Structure 1
Amino acid sequence: MSGLGELDRPETPGSPGAWDERSRRSLTDVGGDEGGTDESGSRGAGAAASSRDRQSPTRARRSNADPVKALMHRHRELCERAVDPLEIAAGLEAHGVTDRTAARFRHRDVFSLAEEMYARVPRDDDPAPRPADPPAPRVRAAWLVLALLPGVLCAAAVAGLRLTDGRPRLIAAAVGALAVTLALRAALRRGPLSAATRTTGTWTCWLVGYALLGDGLLRTALAGGPDALPDGTADGAWPLTAAPVVALALSCAPAAVCAHLFAARARRKLTSSRGLADFSASVRPLLLGTFALYMGVLTALLTLTGAVLDEPAAHPQALALGALLLLARLLTVHGHAHSATLVLTATAAAEGAALATLFAGRLPGCDFLAVPVEALVAVCGPAGVPAAACGIGALTLLLHASRRLTRASAHAHADAATERPG
């Protein structure tokens, strides 16, 4: 599992988290460096500024007289396309401007600096105001229906598997998997779970597939190979753990509702906050509350599906997987797809490596390869492998989200998700 330092690197040169080198130089030229400097550094910076002032006295006078105008010139595109001061504040924060930097432009915080920049942008016509009201009921109903489809179709597919046998069972499995995949893709292309960045779902499919088949495959590997199937599979049917998968599919709708609540309330706090630190402090409990709400709903769904399907609820590994998928999607929706993809890839690789080492341990002289997984299974059972892999991944993303999703730049376009036509 990669560390948080790897997660912090910018995803693309134009992403919200990327540091614009030109903006870094502009802040140094106009407002000074963000961090503190010692006396010698200050004298060096003053000498460099004096040299630039002698070379361009007109520019120096203009910057000293109106530093905000110089900052607006360097962020002209941001100011011109912004539809409200909040977008300018979020954009400035994404480029490294903090409340301390804003003080050097004679403003108490970034929000008041953004308000002046927005008010001073020349406009021929006032832009259409951003809708402050919630989406129309028809729009909200559309993405709610799409979010419900994966759970309904997954439950129908499992019922088809329970009621069929032989070739019809294979056909039902193939049709059900295709229908659930298409429904999930539609749910992720519209509504609060939609993202402008296109991401691959390969690793997500692997993780869900492991939740369905992984425990049976792990028991087979521990027993000695594919020929040593667990009890009750003498007819050739592979053991399936359907309850966690059905619960995860049904939780797609609660996840969409939680993502919508988080984005809407964070947007309101962005409007009412008067500083970046104030905003971060108010959004962090909101993020944790949203996460706890989803986990509570997922726990109830796991209990319900386990009772209906007469299967173990598989709470540890299913809860860890659900937390991992929710946090990965929230980060993707708010512009941090790189970190989500990185952790999902590492988690899937850990599960695959656990199975590979068990089979490789059957080779002569390679018994030591299977020792770590066998020890974990001996203590926690087959569920220990996915629970450990997904749990570590979810904890990593939770720590990362508590830093990234509490920044104003992550919510500059938070309300666009519910209005995106897909």
Structure 2
Amino acid sequence: MTRQESVAEGGGALLGVTAGLPPGSLRTPATPDPVKALMHRHRALCERAVDPLEIAAGLEAHGVTDRAAAQYRHRDVFALAEEMYARVPRGDDDSDDGPHPGTAGRAHAVPEVAVQWALFVLLPGAVCAAVVAGLGVVSGVARLGVVLGGVVAVALVFWIALGEGPLRVASRPAPATRAWVCWLLAYALLGDALLTSALAGGPDEAGELWRPATAALLALAFAVAPAAWCAHVFAVRAGGRLRTSRGLDEFAASARPLLLGVVMLFLAALGALLAAAHALLGAAPGGTSALTGAWALGALLLLARLLGVYGFTRAPALLLAAAGACEVTALCLVFAGRLPGCEAAAVPVTAAVGAFGPGAVPTAVCGAAALVLLIHAARTLALASAHAGPGDAP
């Protein structure tokens, strides 16, 4: 059972309790102790809860507001959950047999730094660097073999690195989402060269397409490590603030700056990696504009993965598809502009590339998608229900 399903089960049980009360009892509780019936009918969930905020998170996930809690003579949802947590007796409270069985493996436990994932996240950068180095010393048929073998090896180590640790997503991404991610990475590698050749009237030869932006892809591969550490920092700090917050609003107010800080930290690390790769490997086909496109793509991929870790996969899938479709559309508009009477179709792309370079397309597209995902993440990852639940914390 995933985290979101667990929270939904707890919140659904609470709502089921309220549904079983007499008509009108939510508005004007008839008993002197309005929480008593709720407490008795929902004893099991309260016994399993690690702290009051876990109960409050279940209520929040199902739309129970502070106004509804006021009908139970409490100022907010957290105060109601706190009383429920305190008043339901627990069978193990007076025993010396160890912790309550419901407290084992909860999401509030601080994620540990495992040597396994800490090393695995370094593999994509190391393998990608080895492939780039191999391309520099071979030619002809051997070069093609290095390319094909490198693609397989990089894909494999990406699968290993993302399958463990803070970037692990419990639900498998849809094939369409994987396809769009592969397209975005392929465009970061070859898209600027293709767009430049298309605007110049080509490509006339297949060799014109083989001017890869290896610096951009190499930096993105090495960026898996800071992305994993940033996700780990967010999970640890958010878990700590979840335990110390005295209400849902207080937690949300502290989680949003934390998320923004983590994203800024990753962007700073990615910027440093892009600058180092550019200095080491030389200019890309699109110049420095190719690096800004990779920078925006890195932000988009981090936010999409971070949302997926916490069970929010729909918005990332839509935004990744939208970004990839916009890049495809930009290329199609350039080629469509060669048709008689359709010259105006290529004008927007031509003007943008002329002013800012070929990297303007991925920068604008991925940057806009990343901004939308950041706004969405600031709303969803600031919910206590996103961090509460059993077992499968990152």
TM bucket normalised to smaller:
0.7 to 0.9
Q: Using the alignment, how far apart are the partners of 2:347 and 2:44 within structure 1?
A: 58
Q: Using the alignment, how far apart are the partners of 2:41 and 2:362 within structure 1?
A: 49
How big is the shift at 1:114?
Answer: 2.4
Counterpart of 2:304 in 1: which secondary structure?
helix
2:118 alignment partner AA: L
- Alignment correspondent of 1:7: none
Distance 1:68 1:183, change over 3 A: farther
1:225-264 superposed matches below 5 A: 225-227=202-204, 233=207, 238-264=210-236
Alpha carbons 1:212, 1:241 under 8 Å: kept: yes
| Structure 1: gaps (5+ residues) | 1-12, 32-47, 54-59
- Alignment correspondent of 1:100: 67
- Alignment correspondent of 1:86: 53
Q: Using the alignment, how far apart are the partners of 1:77 and 1:179 within structure 2?
A: 49
- Alignment correspondent of 2:244: 272
- The answer to whether structure 1 residue 216 and structure 2 residue 193 are counterparts is yes
Aligned match for 1:206, one of 180, 183, 186: 183
RMSD: 3.2
Q: Using the alignment, how far apart are the partners of 1:237 and 1:372 within structure 2?
A: 22
Distance 1:224 1:72, change over 3 A: farther
- The answer to whether structure 1 residue 190 and structure 2 residue 157 are counterparts is no
Counterpart of 2:103 in 1: which secondary structure?
coil
Q: Using the alignment, how far apart are the partners of 1:388 and 1:92 within structure 2?
A: 39
Bigger mean CA offset, 65-74 vs 268-277 = 65-74
Aligned match for 1:49, one of 7, 20, 24: 24
Q: Using the alignment, how far apart are the partners of 1:76 and 1:365 within structure 2?
A: 73
| Cα deviation 1:114-139 (Å, max 9, x = unaligned) | 233344556655315346774555xx
| Cα deviation 1:278-334 (Å, max 9, x = unaligned) | 111111111111111111111110111111111245332111111111111111111
Q: Using the alignment, how far apart are the partners of 1:171 and 1:246 within structure 2?
A: 19
Aligned match for 2:297, one of 318, 321, 328: 321
How big is the shift at 1:225?
Answer: 3.3
Alpha carbons 1:150, 1:252 under 8 Å: kept: yes
Q: Using the alignment, how far apart are the partners of 1:240 and 1:17 within structure 2?
A: 47
How big is the shift at 1:106?
Answer: 2.8
| Cα deviation 1:230-279 (Å, max 9, x = unaligned) | xxx5xx67110011111111010111110111111111111111111111
How big is the shift at 1:362?
Answer: 1.6
Distance 1:294 1:80, change over 3 A: same
Aligned match for 1:399, one of 366, 371, 375: 375
How big is the shift at 1:395?
Answer: 0.8
Alpha carbons 1:267, 1:415 under 8 Å: kept: no
How big is the shift at 1:193?
Answer: 0.7
Distance 1:28 1:373, change over 3 A: farther
2:309 alignment partner AA: V
Task: Report how many aligned residue pairs link the two structures.
Answer: 375
How big is the shift at 1:142?
Answer: 0.8
Alpha carbons 2:194, 2:209 under 8 Å: kept: no
- Alignment correspondent of 2:138: 164
Counterpart of 1:254 in 2: which secondary structure?
helix
| Structure 2: gaps (5+ residues) | 93-99
- Alignment correspondent of 1:281: 253
Alpha carbons 2:111, 2:236 under 8 Å: kept: no
1:327-338 superposed matches below 5 A: 327-338=303-314
- The answer to whether structure 1 residue 144 and structure 2 residue 121 are counterparts is no
2:257 alignment partner AA: P
- The answer to whether structure 1 residue 294 and structure 2 residue 266 are counterparts is yes
Output the TM-score relative to the length of structure 1. 0.79
How big is the shift at 1:152?
Answer: 0.9
Distance 1:227 1:88, change over 3 A: same
Alpha carbons 1:327, 1:394 under 8 Å: kept: yes
Alpha carbons 1:262, 1:290 under 8 Å: kept: yes
- Alignment correspondent of 2:96: none
Alpha carbons 1:147, 1:256 under 8 Å: kept: yes
Alpha carbons 1:404, 1:410 under 8 Å: kept: yes
Q: Using the alignment, how far apart are the partners of 1:79 and 1:15 within structure 2?
A: 14
Distance 1:168 1:335, change over 3 A: same
Counterpart of 1:315 in 2: which secondary structure?
helix
Q: Using the alignment, how far apart are the partners of 1:16 and 1:375 within structure 2?
A: 50
How big is the shift at 1:398?
Answer: 1.0
| Cα deviation 1:369-392 (Å, max 9, x = unaligned) | 212211211221111111110011
Q: Using the alignment, how far apart are the partners of 2:240 and 2:66 within structure 1?
A: 20
Q: Using the alignment, how far apart are the partners of 1:82 and 1:163 within structure 2?
A: 60
- The answer to whether structure 1 residue 379 and structure 2 residue 355 are counterparts is yes
Alpha carbons 1:316, 1:383 under 8 Å: kept: yes
Distance 1:242 1:370, change over 3 A: same
Q: Using the alignment, how far apart are the partners of 2:21 and 2:323 within structure 1?
A: 45
How big is the shift at 1:356?
Answer: 1.1
